[in-house]
Chains A and B, each alone.
Chain A
Amino acid sequence: MQIYLPIAEMSVNVFVILGLGGGVGFMSGLFGVGGGFLMTPLLIFLGVPPTVAVGTEANQIVASSVSGVLAHWRRGNVDVRMGLILTAGGFVGSTLGVYLFRWLRGLGQIDLVISLCYIIFLGIVGSLRLVESIQALLASRRQAAGGAAIPVRKKHQHSWMHGLPLKMRFRRSQLYISAIVPAIIGLFVGILAAIMGVGGGFIMVPAMIYLLGMPTAVVVGTSLFQIIFVTANATFLQSTMNHTVDVVLALLLLLGGVVGAQIGARFGVKLKGEQLRSLLALMVLGVCAKLLVDMISVPNELFGLGGGGKH
């Protein structure tokens, strides 16, 4: 069954889009990630204009983060104060990001920048995760064989960060740090989220753990909390500045995504955490490798239409 997407101005098969939403939703339920980093490249691959893919994905992530954050909220795993500081930075960042997006689109380089961002950030995050989970797998095997336990990371390491002004107490995170650091992290992730059409959780979560030193229990909930506002801001700006949010597409993706996420979450329970993490890392690296190959290999068509000359 074909449906015409009013903003993307193309006809798509409803079941392909539902399936795509379901598949990516399954992954996000399984791994506990947003899935934007899979969805946006897949939509572009299907022929949705990159600008519409990025704008629409921001809209869909609003929905998946709202549905995700509620469970964490009930368990009290959201550090609201930290979330609000990150959101403040994220608002500025995503606004800058949308303007940057528009400027690059005019130059005809937006596709290149989207691809480069994916390759660089997915490459870094994927490699780090893979190394980490392999180490953990090896360690747990050693432990099982009666070896030494893995050294636990010290919680309150003092660094240059602690010399900054505007210190604040974050009770849930058990931290007393300068508000400048989370604000800057929020800003940076906000820019990336707006350009890449993702929530940015895959960068935000490691940044919270390794840069801020937040306890893992509150990391996911707080990250989801701030993603809602950052992607809502991106959705609004993409709608008003670029007219690239397709609600019909977003709703279809959502519908599939909701169901997929529930099934994925149930499957996830059956798999071990470390296995899951290495699987996720491999998948992230897979997307990264695909984009890298596309960028290096000789394209079938050297010419392209559109970008800047529209209307």
Chain B
Amino acid sequence: MRARLLVLPLLALLLAGDPARAVEPLVADLSKHLVAITTGFAGTDVLLFGAIEEMDGDKAGDVVVVVRGPNKAETLRRKDRTAGIWINSGNAKVDNAPSFYQVASTRPLEEVAPTAILDRHQIGLDHLDLDIRVKDQGSDLGEYRKALFRLNQTKGLYGDKVLEIGMLSQRLFRTDVHFPANVPVGIYMVEVYLMSAGQVISAQTTPLVVSKIGIGADVFDFAHHQAAAYGILAILLAAAAGWLAAIAFKKS
């Protein structure tokens, strides 16, 4: 949400600063605005596409896309050897780790914008502003930060690298963002930046909803909102299944 709050005044400024410009310098959209986790869900791709306006006949600039899942609190634990076995010995709490984070860009990020700009908009893992509180004698914040990224990358929730954005005739761009089967639910923000000469020329934010749909969603809601009934039903279901099995296979 913070990114969006930053973006809106920025857009307003841009529009106010150049009233003569009729066309938007940047338009972008998604192939779908809902990722539905159904019973058969095994991950999906969302296509992000758009166009940038040529500026004074020059190459318009670079496009950078950030897909960010809702923030959540995470606990990281580190194992250490105690009496010959590996035991969780230290931990760190992160309050605002994005549950999903992918960046795509037309060129490497460091060539597109200076660190200050990347930091301000939190573009790229190295530029995320994370609040990590470490309780561990044997490790430090840097290690935990790296571990958070590595673990989420292993799960496919953080990008291993900055994805490439394909350009068509200097104006049209497209990129595929993959959402794995274990993608967390919530409202995602897809931020598209148009950069030129190390500055953000234009930006646009589109929400993307990731939600459980169908029987799976009903089961989840039931289990969480009527836990006692769910528990009893689970027991009855199991008992009935066991009884049926015994009858079906009874030796006559």
Contact = CB atoms under 8 A, between A and B. Distances in A.
Contacts of A92: none
B144 interface: yes
B76 A304 contact: yes
B246 A70 contact: yes
Interface stretch (A169-177, A208-216, A237-245): A237-245
Given A67-B242, A108-B91, A240-B227, A7 B220 contact: yes
A7 B86 CA distance: 29
Interface string A231-255: 0100111111001010110110010
Contact of B84 (A65, A112, A296): A296
A68 B233 CA distance: 20
Interface stretch (A38-46, A56-64, A153-161): A56-64
A140 interface: no
A62 B239 CA distance: 6
Interface string B235-252: 101110111011011000
Interface stretch (B9-17, B34-42, B159-167, B196-204): B34-42
B150 interface: yes
Contacts of A3: 39-40
Contacts of A1: 40
Given A62-B235, A235-B234, A243-B223, A4 B41 contact: yes
Contact of B234 (A70, A250, A305, A309): A250
Contacts of B42: 2, 4, 11
Contacts of B150: 301, 303
Interface residues on B, range: 35 or more
Interface in A1-25: 1-7, 9-11
A62 B238 contact: yes
A2 B49 CA distance: 29
Interface string B142-182: 00100110111010000000000000000000000000011
A303 B219 CA distance: 32
Interface string B31-58: 0000001111111000000000000000
B181 to A, nearest CB: 3
Contacts of B86: 295-296, 298-299, 302
Nearest to B87: A112
B232 interface: yes
A59 B241 contact: no
Contact of A245 (B73, B223, B243): B223
A303 B151 CA distance: 8
A237 B73 CA distance: 25
21 contacts: A2-B42, A4-B40, A4-B41, A11-B182, A62-B242, A63-B241, A63-B245, A66-B242, A67-B243, A111-B88, A239-B223, A250-B234, A254-B241, A296-B86, A299-B79, A301-B150, A301-B154, A304-B79, A305-B152, A306-B75, A309-B93
Interface of B: 37-43, 73-80, 84-88, 91, 93-94, 144, 147-148, 150-152, 154, 181-182, 212, 215-217, 219-220, 223-224, 227-228, 230-235, 237-239, 241-243, 245-246, 248-249
Given A243-B224, A247-B237, A304-B77, 6 more contacts: A5-B216, A11-B43, A248-B216, A301-B151, A302-B79, A309-B73
Interface of A: 1-7, 9-11, 59-60, 62-68, 70-71, 108-109, 111-112, 228, 232, 235-240, 243, 245, 247-248, 250-251, 254, 258, 262, 295-296, 298-299, 301-309
